[in-house]
Amino acid sequence: MRRFLLALLCLTVPLYAQSPERDAERATAIMAGAEADLVAARDAQNQLAAYAKAVQGYELALSVARGSARQIALARVDAEQRFAAQRDQVAKLLGGLHRVERAPVPLLMIHPSGPAGAVRAGQLMSGLVPILQQEATTLRTEADYLVTLQEDQAAVEALLSDGLAGVRAARASLNDALARRNTARVTVDRLVLEGLRDGSATLQAFARALARQAPPASARFESAEGALPLPAEGRILRAFGTPDAAGIVRPGLILETGAVSLVTAPMDATLRYSGPFLDYDQIAILEPEAGWLLILAGLTEVSRETGEVILAGEPLGTLASGPTTRKDDAFLVENTGQGATVGTNTLYIELRRDGVPIDPAPWFATGMDGE
């Protein structure tokens, strides 16, 4: 019994604590930065990049807040189960004492082990009183912990609602800026481009065909190695040259992102191609300099047109589990309960020099360690 009590006392320590609270604080800080970015974007010289930064800030804040909400929800379920188990234990002990109190005194003196056994039994029963007091204290601690969890859960849900409103406003402003854009363009022979696309059996063949249309690679782009931002917030799901479950090796890497993610240009580049390609959904092929191609595949939607000159940080399109509608936005808030799984997406990234693929990971500044 005492070992059981010690175990319960250890369990009353809020084991969930710190991490969800830190996540909530981090989400709040990120969201505050996104709000500031959204306000500053109205007067920014490059509104496309500025609004895109605000959108990505809100998306990251929502992702962190969802993680906090999930941890709190799981901790609450665990605490409720412990509370119920302790309450049942106390009820059993109280029931035993109540039966003893109601039994006639002569009957209590009858024990299979004789008078000595009766004395020992009485001592054991009297020892239950301090244990019950300790159990009651533990029960109160668990009840207080449950109240704290409920308050934390309400706070995170409010944070998620604020983030959802913010990301909607930022996306609306970004869409307005996209509609008003007046970006530079290069001349594109669409018939030639479509011929190259339709004549390519694979994405790699299409990339090689595009590379043959350009002069040899310039060495200037090499200075960007290790300094490029990720096109979307995420982590490496499969590294360059790693075979997938089917044993297929692709000359690029796969980035796992959130349920709804804005994809931006990591550098100034000409958009050599944007649109559907085979089973990759939508793809965007950027040319930062002659001879260099950065391929982003698997987008749900591409918001820029072939031939546009895209500046670093400007939006290219979105990754989403479905169309970026209000229903999907609501999913960002609602899907945080017990057993909830937040949807993810994948972005395929390939970098080529003169048509030859190279590992893209070393070119990005952060977040490419797979953790």
Q: What is the pLDDT of residues 160-198, one digit of tens each?
A: 888 889 999 998 989 888 888 776 666 565 666 666 677
Tell me what pLDDT residue 348 has. Answer: 93
- pLDDT higher than 90, residue 75: no
Task: Convert the pLDDT of each residue in 24-33 to its tens digit.
Answer: 888 889 889 9
Percent of the chain scored above 90 by pLDDT?
Answer: 15
What pLDDT, on a 0 to 100 scale, did the predictor assign at position 328? 38
Write the DSSP string, 68-97.
HHHHHHHHHHHHHHHHHHHHHHHHHHHHHH
Q: How many CA atoms lie within 13 A of 159 on its CB side?
A: 31
Checking if the pLDDT of 36 tops 70, the result is yes
DSSP E strands, the chain: 234-238, 253-257, 260-264, 269-276, 282-287, 292-299, 301-302, 309-310, 315-320, 345-353, 356-358
The mean per-residue pLDDT over the stretch 65-79 comes to 83
Return d(Cα 273, Cα 294) in angstroms, integer.
Answer: 11
The answer, yes or no, to whether residue 133 has pLDDT greater than 90, is: no
Distance CA 25, CA 98 (A): 49
Q: Is the pTM of this model over 0.85?
A: no
Residue 2 has pLDDT above 60, yes or no: no
Minimum mean pLDDT range among 87-91, 124-128, 284-288 = 124-128
* Angle at CA of residue 92, ends 89 and 94, nearest 5°: 110
Q: Residue 21 — very low, low, confident or very high, per pLDDT cuts 50/70/90?
A: confident
The predicted pLDDT at position 126 comes to 60
- Mean pLDDT value across residues 100-127: 50
Model pLDDT for residues 300-357, shown as the tens digit of each residue:
999 888 888 888 899 999 988 654 433 334 334 434 444 444 568 889 999 998 888 9
CA angle centred on 179, ends 178 and 185, rounded to 5°: 70
303 neighbors 178 (Cβ within 8 angstroms): yes
Quick one: what percent of the chain has pLDDT higher than 70? Answer: 67
What pLDDT is recorded for position 201? Answer: 67
Residue 107 Cα to chain centre, angstroms:
65
- What integer is the mean pLDDT of 275-293? 87
Beta bridge partners of 308: 185
pLDDT band at 97 (very low <50, low <70, confident <90, very high): low
Confidence class of residue 98 from pLDDT cuts 50, 70 and 90?
low
pLDDT digits (tens, 9 = 90+) for 192-243: 666 667 767 677 777 777 776 665 555 567 888 888 999 998 888 899 988 8
> How confident is the model over 75-88, as a mean pLDDT?
77
Side-chain half-sphere CA neighbours of 166 within 13 A = 31
User: What domains does the chain contain, in order, with CATH numbers?
Assistant: 2-180 (1.10.287), 190-363 (2.70.70.10)
As a whole number, the mean pLDDT across the chain is: 75
- Please report the pLDDT score of residue 139 as a whole number: 72
Find residue 347's DSSP bridge partners: 255
pLDDT above 90 for 264: yes
Is pLDDT above 80 for 44?
yes
Tokens of 183: 């970006």
Query: Any idea which of 110-114, 144-148, 250-254, 279-283 has the lowest mean pLDDT?
Result: 110-114
Q: CA 130, CA 137: separation in Å to the nearest integer?
A: 11
User: Which of 195-201's residues contact partners 24+ apart within 8 Å by CB, and which partners?
Assistant: 197/273, 197/275, 197/277
